[in-house]
Structure 1
Amino acid sequence: MTTELWVLVGLLAVIVVVTVVIAVRLLVRMTRLRGQLRAVGAPRSGRLAFWLAVAYLVCPVDLLPDPVLLDDIGVLVLAVRSLGAGVRAAHEDGLPRDRDEEPRRVGA
Structure 2
Amino acid sequence: MSRQAWVLVVIAGILAIATLVGAVVLAVRVVRTRRLLTGLGAGGKVAFYGALIYTIFPVDVLPDPIYLDDMGVLAAALIYLTRLVQKRRATGSQPADQPDTNPDRDRVGRRMP
Fold agreement, TM-score > 0.5: yes
> Alpha-carbon deviation of 1:99?
2.0
Question: Does 1:14 pair with 2:23?
Answer: no
The residue aligned with 1:76 is 74
The residue aligned with 1:5 is 5
TM-score, normalised by the number of residues in structure 2: 0.78
Contact 1:34 1:83 in 2 (8 A): no
Contact 1:33 1:87 in 2 (8 A): no
In 2, Cα distance between equivalents of 1:57 and 1:100:
27
Aligned length: 101
Contact 1:37 1:87 in 2 (8 A): no
Question: Does 1:47 pair with 2:63?
Answer: no
User: Which entry has the higher C-alpha Rg, 1 or 2?
Assistant: 2
Q: Give unpaired runs (5+ residues) of structure 1.
A: none
In 2, Cα distance between equivalents of 1:45 and 1:94:
19
Q: Give unpaired runs (5+ residues) of structure 2.
A: 100-108
Question: Does 1:85 pair with 2:97?
Answer: no
> Alpha-carbon deviation of 1:98?
6.7
- Tell me how large the CA RMSD over aligned residues is: 2.2
> Alpha-carbon deviation of 1:86?
1.1
Q: Structure 1 segments of 4 or more deviating over 6 A?
A: none
TM-score, normalised by the number of residues in structure 1: 0.81
1:100–1:18: structure 2 CA closer, same or farther, 3 Å change rule?
Answer: closer
Identity of aligned residues (%): 38
